[in-house]
Structure 1
């Protein structure tokens, strides 16, 4: 099944849009710097923030200190992601999952089980590879459930419909639903 996916950016791609080090994006999110970049503009998948490309590319023009987006970097990000569309708000995005959420969807015993399945080529290809992390649209993963069950030796690969419903309606609060903040801002994390 062919789906047009939304263009997304992680920390590394956001930094590329503004020709800065990825650590700068973390500083823009920092409460001690007044959170120049509002964390609520991102979605959290497997404990990491991702932004709609339309928002990220327009963000620099909305800050007190104007930041020029690099249009060549934006075009390269679009080319890397293939056919898609450009959302501007997180609430426009379909449900997106990473390995933490997939483990919960299928009730897998360990991350190694999923990693082995991915490495063997039995898991569907990722929809995105952003900032070094593989991400999938929820429907990409669910469409593969029958194939995963058929090729499994011992795992049932049964879908937990409660987890799927929570992911679809934005109420999922399991592993990966929150950013794990490190350092002095740990107690202030979202």
Structure 2
């Protein structure tokens, strides 16, 4: 792995840690992760192989990325306060994000440090025709995880805007009691 590989992989893992602290949901919340995966895709996704079972591999990892992304978006807390939305990644969301992005990085490290022969045998046995299929599968998995997580957060944020929002200041005890009944 090159220095650029390490930086981009670590940046993708660390994106979720930015959201462990509650912050305002704004355009940056969407653009930063999308920018990182767009950079990764532009650097590594040169082709999408379609021979043999390449598309099966790609489809399986894209499906895993979609499942991780939707689940991560569901386990992200979104709340409205005075017309503003705030977001906070929960522990489950963070674990899912690190699992998805970390798996890709772990696979790269494993292949670079002795796993290449095992991947080659697996590929031959399962009719995966080229190493580009693995690259495409993992890059598209990451892209799908990011896009589905952000799409889930976006849909949930629109729903949160429809719910009654909390005022910023303290509420009188009687008003708080009326809302609970």
TM over 0.5: no
Return the structure number with greater helix share: 2
Task: Provide the TM-score with structure 1 as the length reference.
Answer: 0.32
Higher Rg? 2
Counting strand residues as a fraction of each chain, which structure ranks higher?
1
Given the two structures, how large is their TM-score scaled by the length of structure 2? 0.33
